[in-house]
Amino acid sequence: MSRKKNQHYQGVTQKKIHVAPLSPIPTYRLKITFSALCLILFALMGRVAYLQLIQGFVLETRARDNQTKKVEPIGKRRSIVDRRGRLLAFDEKRYRLYVDPGRFKFPGDKKGLFRKPEEVADKLHGLLPISKGSLIQSFYQQQPGVSVKLMEDVKSETATKIRELRIDGIDLEPYPQRVYPQEDLFSNLLGFLDYDRVPQAGLELSFDQQLSFKEKTRSYRFGRDGTPLPNDIESGVFAVDNAQLNLTLDARLQEIALNALKEQLREWKAKKGVAIVMNVENGELLALASAPTYDPNRYWRYPASFYKEWSVQELFEPGSTFKPINLALALQEKVIEVDGNVYDSGVVNVGGWPLTNWNKEPNGLLNYAEVLQVSSNVAMVNIMKKLSPSKHWDWLNKLGLDQTLDTDLPGFVPGSIKEKEIFVKQPIHQAVASYGQGFSLTPLKLAQLHALIANGGKLVHPHIKKNWANELRVPKNKQEKNLFSPEVTKTVLAWMESVVEEGSGKGVKISNYRIGGKTGTADQTEDGKNYNSKICSFVAILPIEKPKYVVLVAINGPKKSYAYGSTVAVPVAKKIIESLIVIEKLQPLNQETNFSLEKPKTVGNST
């Protein structure tokens, strides 16, 4: 049995294997293979040459575009601050929210899975001032695949929370929003930017170039991990512009002045008012308030007439507040003496025109302090008749009544006076000009002229720009003109102090402080025919022993009876002066101080 098995296995292993004989590879096959390899090599070399020589520049540009990010400037503006650094205007980053409902996906969602608008609305409605139902309705109304603006004015805190949701189909676009934190406090002066960030009024318009950042398009190259690479970055692109416009204004004093104006406008049902506080030594404006005013953050809610700054953009007849100026130039020309007198008969005829006092009453023989106390028109006409009309007109011209004021305030309107030939040939014009009528000027110009009396005869330039913070450039001081002698101005100051001590300015009197002033009530016409309206004003100078400030208040169109400078403007001025004393730490007089002014007697009431 075993022998048969072995024979069987031997038969299998001894089976004959057929081996094919070797033969050489045909030559044509080698040639075909070699030719194919050569063709492939030449094709690769040609492709490389094409990419390098022909497409090289295009590919390099495409690569750089993928590796480089260009950041366009978004038009930021510099901040504006008051004299103590309080922000008046600044840029705040806000966001526009865009949504594409066709791309809604949550983090970790599978490819091809998109979320329903209800799911996205459920996450957003607590962050946005839009109800969930309104969000869902808005999402369904939009065309899928199109990104549409859902809302704007999204604040940074809200934008951060939306980003943390990491929802595809929601995009945030940053933009700068001009913010005015003091709201209506400085609006007439600052102006505003419209929706397209185009300045429309005020300092925003007049200082547009200086307030705009000098930004360039920035290009950044990034590595694979997103790290910015140092090459190809221009020097200075990471520099921060910290410059800001510093104003001479004081927000605290401005608030007091504006609130006092608003209260008085309501009380007297007046149309508008202005209050000015100016440093007489250098022309710095500490307050420049106008009412009615508006909120520049919501400028579209107000009429365009509110956008004007009355103190520099509208003219008025100063009335009796100009009498101290006329007395100063009469003294300067030596047509009156310091201790002289003038007779007031109650009426004076000039060229056939009867001119009277405000109360139609005579005041008799007056010294010049008493002329201001009772605000005598007739006495002023008699005084200024001693000065030739030609010389009087020359003085009004020299004071710059009809010239553009040298100031950095925007939109200043020059005053108006009669032509010299008319002024000289028709005596009525000099007569009415003697008590502040027949010509017009701005409230700021009137404040400048009273500063001329306060500082010893120097014509300073009113301004609100202090400097640009963090800049080395310092504005140069301008040369002021000396028009009146110190002796003349000292005399007129004493007369103005008597107005507060004994005359129509009593309402502004403050214990232990020497204040000078002059009230004014000028008739004006609203229809061009009838004098059916008034402008009530008051100008104060303090402290008299060493004048430093001029305070001017003017209120246009009071409707109630007994509206005069003493009843309408003086109460506002007193509130401002009381606050000015505290803010600027003005020291009271020593109780033992001897007054150099001999107080004249009181001879009557005045406006």
What's the domain count of the chain? 2
Do 166 and 258 lie in one domain? The reply is no
Output the six-digit token pair for 197.
């960030």
Do 221 and 287 lie in one domain? The reply is no
CATH number of the domain at 159, please: 3.90.1310.10
Count of CA atoms in the C-beta half-sphere (13 A) of 279: 13
- Element holding 42 (H helix, E strand): helix 27-49
Do 455 and 539 lie in one domain? The reply is yes
User: Rounded mean pLDDT of the chain?
Assistant: 84
> Which one of the listed residues 79, 290, 311, 320 is annotated catalytic?
320
Residue at 349 is within a domain:
yes
Least confident of 12-26, 75-89, 257-271: 12-26
Q: Is 485 a residue whose pLDDT tops 90? A: yes
Q: Specify burial of residue 223 (Cβ count, 10 A radius: 0-12, 13-18, 19+).
A: exposed
pLDDT above 70 coverage of the chain, percent: 84
Residue at 132 is within a domain:
no
516 and 497 Cβ atoms separated by less than 8 Å? yes
Count of CA atoms in the C-beta half-sphere (13 A) of 411: 19
d(CA 233, CA 227): 13
Residue at 39 is within a domain:
no
Least confident of 8-22, 26-40, 482-496: 8-22
Do 376 and 459 lie in one domain? The reply is yes
Residue at 602 is within a domain:
no
Q: Which residue, 214, 247, 280, sits at the end of a domain?
A: 247
Residue at 61 is within a domain:
no
Do 370 and 412 lie in one domain? The reply is yes
Phi and psi at 441, nearest 5°, equal -155, 175
Do 240 and 276 lie in one domain? The reply is no
How far apart, in Å, are the Cα atoms of 89 and each of 84, 182, 247? 14, 8, 11
Do 240 and 268 lie in one domain? The reply is no
Residue at 29 is within a domain:
no
206 belongs to the catalytic site: no
| pLDDT attached to residue 471 | 44
CATH number of the domain at 508, please: 3.40.710.10
| pLDDT attached to residue 70 | 62
Do 228 and 369 lie in one domain? The reply is no
Do 335 and 210 lie in one domain? The reply is no
d(CA 307, CA 293): 7
d(CA 540, CA 475): 29
Q: Stretch 476-495: mean pLDDT, rounded?
A: 82
Do 228 and 92 lie in one domain? The reply is yes
| pLDDT attached to residue 477 | 45
Do 282 and 426 lie in one domain? The reply is yes
| pLDDT attached to residue 66 | 66
Domain boundaries, position 197? 71-110+147-247
Q: Stretch 396-425: mean pLDDT, rounded?
A: 91
| pLDDT attached to residue 375 | 93
Residue at 530 is within a domain:
yes
Q: Is 599 a residue whose pLDDT tops 50? A: no
Per-residue pLDDT band for 99 (boundaries 50, 70, 90) equals confident
Count of CA atoms in the C-beta half-sphere (13 A) of 149: 8
Q: Where are the beta strands (DSSP E) in 225-346?
A: 244-247, 272-279, 285-291, 341-344
Q: Is 168 a residue whose pLDDT tops 90? A: no
Do 202 and 271 lie in one domain? The reply is no
Neighbours of 230 (CB within 10 A): 7
Angle, CA of 601, 603 and 604, to the nearest 5°: 140
Residue at 104 is within a domain:
yes
